[in-house]
Amino acid sequence: MRSAPTILHLDMDAFYASVEQASKPSLRGKAVIVGGLGPRGVVATASYEARVHGVHSAMPMSQARRLAPNAAYLVPRFALYRSISDQVMALLRALSPLVEPLSLDEAFVDLEAGDTAWDERSARLVGTKLRADIRAVTGLTGSVGLAASKMLAKIASEQAKPDGLVVIEPGTEREMLAPMSVRTLPGVGPATGDHLRRAGIHTVGEIAEAGEDELVRLLGKAHGHALYAMALARDDRPVVAERETKSVSVEDTYDVDIHDRVRVGLEVQRLADRCVRRLRGAGLSGRTIVLKVRRYDFSTLTRSETLRGPTDDPAVVREAAARLLDSVDTTGGVRLLGVGVSGLADYTQEDLFAQAAGGAGEEVAEEEESGPAPEPLPEVPAERRWSAGHDVRHTEYGHGWVQGSGLGRVTVRFETPGSAPGRVKTFRVDDPALEAADPLPLVEAPPDLPRTDAPAAGASASPLGGVTARAGPAPGTR
């Protein structure tokens, strides 16, 4: 572990919900919940106003609606979230060549590698400026933790939430960790936490007091050793700039179980095509095709087939996925399907006949036919779907967003990131004057900040709360 707090962990505050509040003036300061809105949808992010009601990420959307019936429920806009994430990551990469993104809204930064911080004072200055720059570029707030290791930096950013900065000074780690719940440590989930609680261990300090041998007895060798080291604030993991992609996959959860075997097959083919598009977009190919099926009773089956060489051919992936589906009983209904490709490489196998004819280890007779090419998926007529929260434009009223739709009607609130809360209008879903639109940028990019790959901005900053900094570990709201 280092002798200075030069590992930075950034966590954007309620990222998806904050983006929606920044782009929709009428939702600022109100409960906003982003996620799947169907009967089986789950919460992706809840604003802090919604969390007061007990709503949190990964909660079933049906439960969230019971807890916060008056909240705004919106469908995610991932393209917008990615563009804003690109802006934030560009600011981080201006600090150091060692940036390890964990998700769209979270990353580690090695400030020492960028020669931007070398002691507590310089690290604090970098963290303070970063938070101000993020607000200037995106209109959003992020919480920053600074410490001598990745584990401690992440714990510090959790304490800093929302919209704060916490520095854990070297030498104070064990004292700071001791009274914290065992659930604070990475890898301690509900099951491990309950197991420790039954053994009379509730805090990190009690983990250290129990000793390594006792933890190994309770949790097994690997987990026991790791947990004991973390309780002593030992963490030597480096910040890794590039994380190798091990697989590419897509999946869909269906609001109503699919019972028709033909429909299941068509869905698998559609998912295979989507997976290949993502694979090609990353410039990759793969050897192992994976099918995931979650049935009506929540049992999940995974089947895989390894080809003779890597491919990015959609016909090959479709055929392999179809063969895998043949081995799965879907009689009772299917609630989730997924198709993935692993064993990735940056080249493809040219012998497509061998790929399509069979998986690894199979001998294919020379006279064997490869079979007819798969028929294209049936054309689906384009439908005008108005997703809650998504952007629209009206020829008379301008830019707005969908508040809701149903019974042949769509309700739109007309406002932009820089406007006052706008007025609401209702239209027929097939109104020719109404069309889908691209999201508007949240703020104007200041000329003195690092350039990003995100679209140029054109609206005023969003009032999402003040910038504060706290000098030591203090409790914060996640």
13 to each of 22, 46, 64, 80, how far by Cα in Å? 12, 10, 19, 16
Strand partners, 285: 345
21 to each of 30, 69, 139, 303, 406, how far by Cα in Å? 8, 18, 10, 42, 24
325 to each of 51, 176, 212, 264, how far by Cα in Å? 41, 52, 46, 9
Rounded Cα gap, residues 8 and 92, in angstroms: 10
Question: Is the bond preceding residue 374 a cis peptide, omega within 30 degrees?
Answer: no
| Catalytic residue (one of 20, 49, 100, 106) | 106
Total residues found in the chain within this entry? 478
Smallest CA-to-CA distance from 270 within 252, 256, 257 is with 252
Please name the residues in contact with 443: beta carbons below 8 A apart, sequence gap of 6 or more. Answer: 136, 137, 138, 139, 417, 457, 459, 460, 461, 462
Rounded Cα gap, residues 51 and 117, in angstroms: 35
Dihedral angle computed from the Cα positions of residues 105, 107, 111 and 116, in that order, rounded to the nearest 10 degrees: -20
Catalytic residue status for 106: yes
CA 416 to chain centre: 26
Is 32 within 8 Å of 48 (Cβ atoms)?
no
456 is written with which tokens? 């140029």
Q: Which three-class secondary structure state does DSSP give residue 190?
A: helix
Q: Which residue has the tokens 């929606």?
A: 20
Helices 190-198 and 212-219, packing angle to 10 deg: 120
Catalytic residues: 106
